[in-house]
Amino acid sequence: MASVPIHYYLFFCSVLFCIGVLGVLIKRNVLIILMSIELMINSINLLLAAFSAYTNDPAGQIFVFFIMVVAAAEVAIGLAIVVLIYRTTHSLDIDVLNKLKW
Amino acid sequence: MTTILSLTLLGVLVLLLGILKKKTLQLPLILVGLLTALALTISDWNTARHLFNEMLIIDNTAVAFSAVLIFSTFLIFMFAAHYYQGVQRPLDDIYAIMIFALVGAVLMTSYGNLIMLFIGIETLSIALYVLAGSHKEAITSNEATLKYFLLGSFLSGFLLFGIALIYGASGSFSLHGIQLFVIANGQNLPPMFLAGLFLLIVGLAFKIAVVPFHFWAPDVYEGTPTLLTAFMATVVKTASVVAMYRFFSHTFYGIYGVWETTIWVLAALTILLGNFTGVYQPNLKRMLAYSSISHSGYMLLAVVAFSPFTGNALLLYSLTYSVATILAFGILILVREANGNDYFTSLNGIARTNPVEAFCLTIAMLSLAGIPPLAGFMGKYFLFTTALEQGLLWLVIIAITGSAISISYYFKPIVAMYLKENEGGKLNSGVPFKAHLIFLTLLLFLLGILPFLVIGLL
């Protein structure tokens, strides 16, 4: 840990996070958007673990476990919603859904 | 603590009744259970406790707002029997998920640690994604749930990144630890902390539906089944505002900085844009969505204006707002049931066929607009005067301008009901439904005339 300064982790995780954000904003396919959100969440996990190791405080790593559990629940619901959408529209493109004004 | 345990137990019991196919017992059990939970919550009054190493702090603020949330849920469940009559599918899942969402909301009012805040927000949100899509056959409901889910989890990512940065800067997740850090660093907070704070505000602002993070709200509200929209507009909003209020009042009490300007701007934008856009809405449900957006702007006043009294003002405001909104949504349920849509034209002339319902909706609209003898006025009065005492003159001027604009759209349904000719529309409400509407109306009068029942509590 000591050989790699903390701001390297900060920079790396921010870049990963931004890639996830861009993925959500640019891609139109629901599954890829879900994966991008996962990327965002995992970059945060990495950042928390890095901070935690850097400050010798276990709380950050404990939080990572909580985030993993919540992210798993979120993805389970998300995939269920994707199946629901696919049944009615036969498409995974989010632009198909325009019944409600955006 | 007993609140969270009893509510979780109630949710599990409802699921159990679903397995045993005791359909008729479910709603009575929920109503009794919610009242029990309310009593247990209030019994925690004046016994400030720090649980699980300060994960949860059950102080009077937490107790009072939990009570408001449980009471709102109770009021919404009173409409459930009418709303779901004739529905063949088992409903235990919807009811149980609503109760689990309420547990998340209660966590958001009583957290003492950002981990608990995150768990609370996600418990609430994940339950709401399911509820928004609970009308599986309707494509609007599907669309609403997908939009809410994608944006909700996207913005949860921002919230989490904010929490991570705050942790990195201050070395602690607990509100107390962050407060010590803020006091030690005063006006020279490191950029990483400020960036984290900003992202945390963005994440919470999305949940509250604050401009410019409000764009999801009208669509999601319109697509979601009406009963659950009432839940979103009241319980979720109150819980999120209280979460934000709790964060700032515990960590920044009396210390001002960049964040205050940020929330000031957010509140001003929300009040102005929410009210201006509300004027152009063609139907009651979208109008109520914009009304709820502009009301979240007023509630943000409480986050900016710190004084020992702010909690009281926010408590009264959230209670009056919740009661009036639930009343309006109750009528909306009837309107959609009778006409299949909720354009203002479908309200034409119903004052002649349904005088009671028309009167109740009028009272709800007047209260939301803040007309004097009603509860909404008292809520606004105490909130604005506290803000004035804290020197937020311009924000209060903006808020009053916003309220003045809002009167124009709150009067639209009243004009339609009383001044237009009836086009054959008639609302069908049973006796219990009507009694509940009248109860809510009386509550609005009571809180308007005797606000001191609530205002001196905290």
Out of A41, A66, A102, the one facing B119 most closely (by C-beta) is A66
Of B299, B429, B291, B421, nearest to B360 (Cα)?
B429
Positive or negative, the CA dihedral B196, B201, B207, B213 is negative
Positive or negative, the CA dihedral B60, B66, B69, B71 is negative
Cβ separation A74–B122 shorter than 8 A: yes
Instruction: Kindly report whether the global pTM for this prediction surpasses the value 0.90.
Output: yes
- For chain B, the maximum distance between any two Cα atoms, rounded to a whole number of angstroms, is 68
Q: List, in order of start, the domains of chain A with CATH numbers.
A: 6-96 (1.10.287.3510)
Chain B, residues 116-175, CB within 8 A of chain A, namely: 118-119, 122, 126, 129-130, 133, 136, 139-140, 142-147, 149-150, 153-154, 156-157, 160-161, 163-164, 167-168, 171-173
Cα distance from B389 to chain A (closest Cα, Å)?
39
Q: Which long-range contacts (CB under 8 A, 24 or more apart) does B39-48 make?
A: B40/B2, B40/B3, B40/B6, B41/B2, B41/B3, B41/B66, B41/B67, B41/B70, B42/B67, B43/B2, B44/B1, B44/B2, B44/B3
Cβ separation A59–B130 shorter than 8 A: no
- Domain extent for B351: 2-455
pLDDT digit of tens for each residue in chain B (458 aa)? 889 999 999 999 999 999 998 888 889 999 999 999 999 999 988 888 888 888 899 999 999 999 999 999 999 999 998 999 888 888 889 999 999 999 999 999 999 999 999 999 999 999 999 999 998 888 888 889 999 999 999 999 999 999 999 999 998 999 999 999 988 887 788 999 999 999 999 999 999 999 888 889 999 999 999 999 999 999 999 999 999 999 998 888 767 777 888 999 999 999 999 999 999 988 899 999 999 999 999 999 988 887 888 889 999 999 999 999 999 999 999 988 888 888 888 888 888 888 899 999 999 999 999 988 899 999 999 999 999 988 889 999 999 999 999 999 999 999 988 988 877 677 888 888 999 999 999 999 999 988 888 887 77
Q: Chain A residue closest to B130 (CA)?
A: A77
Joined together, the tokens standing for residue B102 give 């309420």
| 3-state class (DSSP) for residue B343 | strand
* Count of the separate structural domains present in chain B: 1
